[in-house]
Amino acid sequence: MTRPLAPLPAALVSAVRHIAATPHLLVALDFDGTMAPLVARAEDARPLPRSAAALATLSSLQSTTTALVSGRALASLRAVATPPAPTLLVGSHGAESWWGPDSPALELTADQAAALERARALVTQATTLYEGTVQEDKPSGVALHYRQASEADGRAAVDHVRKMVAQDPAIYLGTGKMVLELSVLNANKGQSLTTLRERTQATATFFAGDDVTDEHAFAALLPGDLGVKVGQGETAAGFRIAAPAALPQLLELLVSARREFLHVT
């Protein structure tokens, strides 16, 4: 039996009501570990239905922009999240963006393309050597997943790749939950959130995320914005909820407060 969720803390309820009353609201959400509970295989992740429904409703409201800001490649994000049509997308930890048909395609220089080949070869080598590790290719990077590996194999695979990448200044390393991320572009979610805010002319931003890569986004929030960390770990976010299962009630509160502010019945 699932335990009933604790009610949201009064301070968070009040912060949600406050941000809902802004002229143009940007609601930006991380996907894995936030909209979707973490699962063994990346391709099996799906948003919790109530979170997806709340996102869809928010995306239909006037003066409200929704965005998913993910470490996944855009194609992978679209496949698992099936985002509502108006939702803007950021993928590959900020290296890819979709904010409408005029979005620039991601282009790599010849040097970056060569570095990407080297990064992929390294990860392929590690997944061949260490059982249970999995490679996920992205347009400007590659992820080494070790969630399904033994602790020893996971650690050895990560050490192997880290050691090799240390000799290659064209490859940037990042970490996540049971994943090592290699990229040939030095992007982050904080830069993306700032760009989203400017493009949409948002007067306040709501962002929720669970991972270390989301800390760039929390750090990019401004006074009057609202950051919510999902789960445990150090954070710069002002508020925290326990797990993705607690996100629906937060988003549903935002929907009802926003509707009230916009006089939508």
| Binding residues vs ligand L263DTV3 (CB under 6 A) | 30-33, 38-40, 42, 45, 70-72, 136, 143, 145, 147, 176-179, 181, 211, 213
Pick between residue 210 and residue 225 the one whose CB is nearest to ligand L263DTV3. Answer: 210
Q: Minimum CB separation from ligand L263DTV3 for residue 146, in Å?
A: 8
Residue nearest to ligand L263DTV3 (CB): 71
Q: Minimum CB separation from ligand L263DTV3 for residue 259, in Å?
A: 27
> Distances in Å between the alpha carbon of 182 and those of 143, 174, 178?
6, 6, 14
Pick between residue 33 and residue 248 the one whose CB is nearest to ligand L263DTV3. Answer: 33
Pick between residue 50 and residue 147 the one whose CB is nearest to ligand L263DTV3. Answer: 147
Q: Minimum CB separation from ligand L263DTV3 for residue 213, in Å?
A: 6
Q: Minimum CB separation from ligand L263DTV3 for residue 17, in Å?
A: 27
18 phi/psi in degrees, rounded to 5: -65, -45
Q: Give the C-alpha separation, 23 to 81, whole Å.
A: 27
Q: Minimum CB separation from ligand L263DTV3 for residue 170, in Å?
A: 20
57 is written with which tokens?
Answer: 């409703």
Q: Minimum CB separation from ligand L263DTV3 for residue 65, in Å?
A: 18
- Residue 44 burial class via C-beta count within 10 angstroms: exposed 0-12, middle 13-18, buried 19 and up: exposed
Pick between residue 212 and residue 253 the one whose CB is nearest to ligand L263DTV3. Answer: 212
Pick between residue 138 and residue 258 the one whose CB is nearest to ligand L263DTV3. Answer: 138
Kindly write down the DSSP assignment for every residue of 123-172, as one continuous string: HHHHHHHSTT-EEEEETTEEEEE-TTS-HHHHHHHHHHHHHHHTT-TT-E
Task: State CA 105 to chain mean position distance.
Answer: 20
Q: Which residues pair with 37 in a beta bridge?
A: none
Angle between helices 49-60 and 247-262 (to 10 degrees): 20
